[in-house]
Amino acid sequence: MTSALHRGTAPDYVDVGPIRAISQASNQPSGLDWSRTRFHDFSGNPKSLKGYLWPNDVLINSTGTGTLGRVGYFTGSPDGRSCMADSHVTIVRAKADELDARFSYYWLNSKPFQEYVYSALVVGATNQIELNRDRFGDAPTPLPPLDEQRRIANLLDTEIARIDQLVSLRTRQTQLVEEERASLLNSAFERETHIPTRLKHLLATRPRYGVLVPQFVDGDGVRFIRVNDLLDLPGRADSLRKIPHALSTQYARTITRPGDVLLSVVGTLGRAAIVPPELEGANVARAVASLRPMPVVPAELIAAWLTTSDFIRQAVSATSSDTAQATLGMEDLANFRLSWPSSPSATRDLLHEVRGIQQHGTHLACAFQAQSRLLTERRQALITAAVTGQIDVSTASGRNAAEGVSA
């Protein structure tokens, strides 16, 4: 093992025009996401730019929880423009006479190197984790002969493409499940037998915004629910930030009860969740509205309607004049119209139907996501086995090479 990685200088180009900047957000597990790049005007010699990119440069995210260590491979931009990496992305440029660039990409994706990444962390004054680039430059790298490196890379190109294709298929299947679920929910709320009503007539109290300016405390305090927490309220219950009791008391009207429906109303519109029993007594952020259904109104039906195209259409219309960030007003929200069952028995029938739609969609989505996780684990296991010499690439070819590899 030796170091064959370096961060070389840029080539001699002039008058390159607008340059694409690749950030951590651009460097996605599925590859470089060009829709997330930004343009910077530039003319002259790009050697003055530290992060100017050559084809076959390998990129590694060097900061951030959840993104640190993510590896990408640069072959050029789709429109032929020059590109650079921003300060949060480290460029790994292989020494051509020692290290095949594709092999280095796979090595950086392997389990041993990823473990090395997390042994090379430093914590700054703001608790921002980042890659220690001095230690990264000394990273041990396996150096089989170049022709063997290329055989390994060729093998992995073939096998990883198959795995990535399956992951993309599972992702698309998950999207189709969500589209079907949305379509079925739209239909469920559009019965001709339903009667038009306003949302406020289904609520025990008016919709309310949460805490305008939160102050966070450690230890004793009131759990605080923000927009992203609505993605998994039960799962995040024990890890929520806390605000002082006195501050929560100032916003007593949004202290949560089990069965309250919480809705994102700033920026991301339409993300909804029902407050579980374990979050009784919490409070919510300014970007989250608290809806308290009347006792005879099932919270599940309110939460389901908030995901329909009918709600989204009215939310978009109510915020279309916002020039900065979409913000849904509480008076507008209270007066939204929806079709509602005309009797208690019809309400029970709709609730039964909606539960069936949700459970079926969740079951399929969870199954596809579990398969995607297994494929991702197998992907790394295969990469690790190949770059660490556990596969004999002199005889291995195609699918047979991966048969003995377990995640």
For the chain, percent of residues with pLDDT exceeding 70: 89
Q: So what's the pLDDT on residue 203?
A: 97
C-alpha Rg value of the chain to the nearest Å = 26
| 250 pLDDT more than 70 | yes
Residue 252 sits in a domain of what CATH number? 3.90.220.20
11/137 same-domain check? yes
| 122 pLDDT more than 70 | no
Mean pLDDT, rounded, of the chain = 87
| 211 pLDDT more than 80 | yes
The whole-model pTM stands at 0.74
275/226 same-domain check? yes
Q: Find the mean pLDDT for residues 279-308.
A: 96
300/363 same-domain check? no
Indicate the number of domains in the chain: 3
Which residue would you say has higher pLDDT here, 46 or 101?
101
Q: So what's the pLDDT on residue 19?
A: 85
Q: So what's the pLDDT on residue 2?
A: 43
Q: Find the mean pLDDT for residues 148-166.
A: 94
Least trusted range by pLDDT, from 29-33, 231-235, 253-257, 313-317: 29-33
138/153 same-domain check? no
25/80 same-domain check? yes
180/260 same-domain check? no
| 116 pLDDT more than 50 | yes
Q: Find the mean pLDDT for residues 236-256.
A: 95
Range of the domain at 65: 5-143
| 3 pLDDT more than 60 | no
Least trusted range by pLDDT, from 45-49, 51-55, 181-185, 324-328: 45-49
Least trusted range by pLDDT, from 46-50, 261-265, 349-353: 46-50
Q: Find the mean pLDDT for residues 179-190.
A: 94
